[in-house]
A = this chain, B = another copy of it.
C-alpha cells in the first residue's frame, strides 16, 4: 500500500507533539485516511527528547525538507514570519501541500501564500493557527457556511485568559500573576505578543477573513492588552454581574467590519464567561443557526498537534480518494470498520445517585450499607431527609461501580421488608478528561 509522505519542519513543542500523535494513532489515522501517513523527513536544528524519531531521516536545514522530492506535504512548525514564509513558498514552488500552525505567517503573509498555492495547484491548511485543538476554522468555513455570519467573539489567547482568571480567583494583581505565569512557562520571557493582544489579533484576522470573505488585514485590527486591568476593575465588574475577558471581536455592522481585540466585560451567566485558565472558546453568531460556541485547549503540544494532524488527514484524504466520499461517510473507510463489541449496560461503570424510602427503624441503614459494601460499592455521600411520619427518604451518592454489581445490590435492598421497593437510581458522570 502506498503511503502519504509528510515532511515536518521544526521539532519544538508542537513539532514533537505532532510526531507523537502521528506515531501513537497511526493505525486509526490510516483507517480514516485510507492509507498510512508516513513521516518521511524531519528538519530541525536539534533533536527533541520529547519525541522518538528513530528511523526517520533528519536534516539540520529545514529547506532540505522543502526540497525533498519524496515529501507530499510540508508541515511548517518553525514559527516566525521571515524564514517560515520563504520555506513555505519554496515548498509550494516544489508542488508540495502545506500544513502550518503559524498564525503570524498566515495573518501577515497569507494573501501572498494562497496566491502562490493557487498557481501551483496545491493546498494550504492552517487549522492549528487559531484556538489550537478546537476545529474552529472548519466550523466557521464549512460547518456554518450556510450562514451570514453576524459576529465572532473569542477568548483566543490562553496566556491572557490564565492571567485574568488568576487575578479574579486569587484576588491578585497583574504583575504578580504575570511573573507566576512566566515561572510556570505559560507566558514568554517577553510577554508582549500575548499580553498586548498581538497574538489574539493575528488569530482574529484569520477568523474575520473566513467569516466575512474579506482579505487578511492584520494592520487594521485595533489592539489593546490586559496590562492596565487592576484587581479593582475585576471586582467592580463582578459587582455589576460581569467578568472581564480578553476578547477578539469581529462584527459585520452592515456598514463595515469591526476588528478589535481588547479586555471586555461580559455577563457572568453566559457560557463564554465560564472559560477559565489557559482554555480557549469562540462564539459565532450566524443568521440561520443563532449563537454557537466552541471550547477546548488553545495551546500545548498535543492539542495543537491534534489540529496539525487533522489537516494532514484532510490533505491525505484528498490525495487518496476520488472527490466523492473524500471524507468517508462515517469518518472511517467502509472496509476499515472495527468490530469492537458494544458493552451491555451491566458492564458499564459509573457513580450512582440512589433515592430510597425506608422505615424509620434501627438497623435499616446498616442493612442497606452492608448490602452495598457486599457488592463492592462504596458511598461518597448520604443524606437522610426529615419527615414527620411514614417512610424516610434517603439519598445516597456512590463512587464508581460496575452496573451489574449495582443491580445485584439494588435487588437485595428492594427485597428488604424495611425498604420500599421503588428505588430511584440515576447515573453520575463527572466527565473528567
Contacts and interface: CB of A to CB of B under 8 A. Distances in A.
Interface of A: 17, 21-22, 24-25, 28-29, 31-32, 97, 110, 114-115, 117-118, 121-124, 127, 132-135, 138-148, 150, 153, 209-217, 220, 222, 228-230, 232-233, 236-237, 239-240, 242, 244, 247, 249, 251-253, 255-260, 262-267, 270-272, 274-275, 283, 285-297, 302-303, 305-310, 312-314, 318, 322-332, 334, 336-345, 347-348, 351, 353, 355, 381, 383, 393, 395, 397, 424, 426-431, 433
Contacts of A314: 142, 145
A257 B348 CA distance: 9
A301 B351 CA distance: 38
A244 B323 contact: no
Contacts of A307: 143, 146, 289
A133 B345 CA distance: 30
Contact of A140 (B22, B124, B331): B331
A273 to B, nearest CB: 9
A212 B336 CA distance: 11
A404 B208 CA distance: 23
Contact of A135 (B143, B274, B336, B341): B143
B213 A338 contact: yes
Given A142-B314, A264-B426, 18 more contacts: A17-B288, A117-B325, A122-B324, A133-B290, A133-B292, A135-B142, A138-B142, A139-B294, A143-B307, A146-B310, A214-B339, A214-B340, A228-B424, A236-B355, A239-B383, A239-B395, A267-B431, A290-B433
A121 B321 CA distance: 11
A320 to B, nearest CB: 10
Contacts of A260: 345, 348
Contacts of A327: 141-142
23 contacts: A25-B147, A25-B287, A29-B146, A118-B334, A133-B290, A134-B292, A153-B431, A217-B342, A236-B383, A256-B340, A258-B348, A265-B397, A265-B429, A271-B275, A271-B295, A287-B302, A288-B305, A288-B309, A292-B294, A292-B297, A293-B293, A293-B296, A318-B326
Identical chains bound together, number = 2
Contacts of A308: 146
Contact of A146 (B21, B355, B393): B21
A358 to B, nearest CB: 15
B144 A135 contact: yes
Listed from nearest, the 4 A-B pairs whose CB atoms lie closest are A135-B143, A146-B309, A141-B331, A292-B296
A393 B232 contact: yes
B233 A118 contact: no
B345 A426 contact: no
Given A153-B431, A292-B296, A324-B318, A259 B342 contact: yes
Contacts of A429: 153, 247, 249, 264-266
A303 B289 CA distance: 4
A34 to B, nearest CB: 12
A431 B133 contact: no
A342 B259 CA distance: 7
Contacts of A114: 329-330, 334
Contacts of A252: 340
B329 A117 contact: yes
Contact of A288 (B133, B266, B339): B133
Contacts of A242: 353, 428
Nearest to A22: B146
B237 A353 contact: yes
A397 B148 CA distance: 31
Contacts of A217: 342
A212, A292, A353 interface centre (most CB from chain B within 10 Å): A292
A236 B395 contact: yes
A253 B339 CA distance: 14
Given A123-B324, A353-B237, A427 B262 contact: yes
A216 B314 CA distance: 23
